[in-house]
Amino acid sequence: MAGTYTYTIGRRKTASAQVRIFEGKGDSKINDRKAGEYIMRSDLFDTLYTPLKLCKMKDAVYFEAKVSGSGQSAQADAIAHGIARALAAKDEGHKTVLKAAGLLTRDARKVERKKPGRHKARKGMQWSKR
């Protein structure tokens, strides 16, 4: 890590990502591994870089992220949320583009807990009249 950076936190489900955005050229890293090594699926890779593509900053900045919790898909969404927040904090002009794409809104959906007396969170026992 060299130079000044913009720091934000992105979240999705139980995944939490601490994202630092640096100006200039460099390798984007996730948990001290290259982004391409950490996230293999191409659809998640596209999700990861969506905020940078919308702001046309893909070649102008790079990021380093520490992410934990949940699965690979939620982690990619958490990193994208963190990148979007960092870009919005860095330049107010990006905020309108990112907000219109829905990248600044935190997706608060989580798995609902199982309740006692039920099979799952909402599925109850089967009822028969006779």
What are the tens digits of pLDDT across the range 67-100? Answer: 999 999 999 999 999 999 999 999 999 999 999 9
What are the tens digits of pLDDT across the range 27-62? Answer: 999 999 999 999 999 999 999 999 999 999 999 999
Instruction: Please tell me the total count of domains within the chain.
Output: 1
pLDDT reported for residue 130: 86
pLDDT reported for residue 2: 64
Q: In Å, how far are 20, 24, 43, 120, 127 from 8, measured between CA atoms?
A: 7, 18, 23, 35, 50
Question: Look-up: residue for tokens 């060299």?
Answer: 2
117 in a structural domain = no
Quickly state the pLDDT bin for 20 (edges 50, 70, 90).
Answer: very high
Domain containing 95 — which CATH number? Answer: 3.30.230.10
Quickly state the pLDDT bin for 3 (edges 50, 70, 90).
Answer: confident
Q: Which domain holds residue 14?
A: 5-100
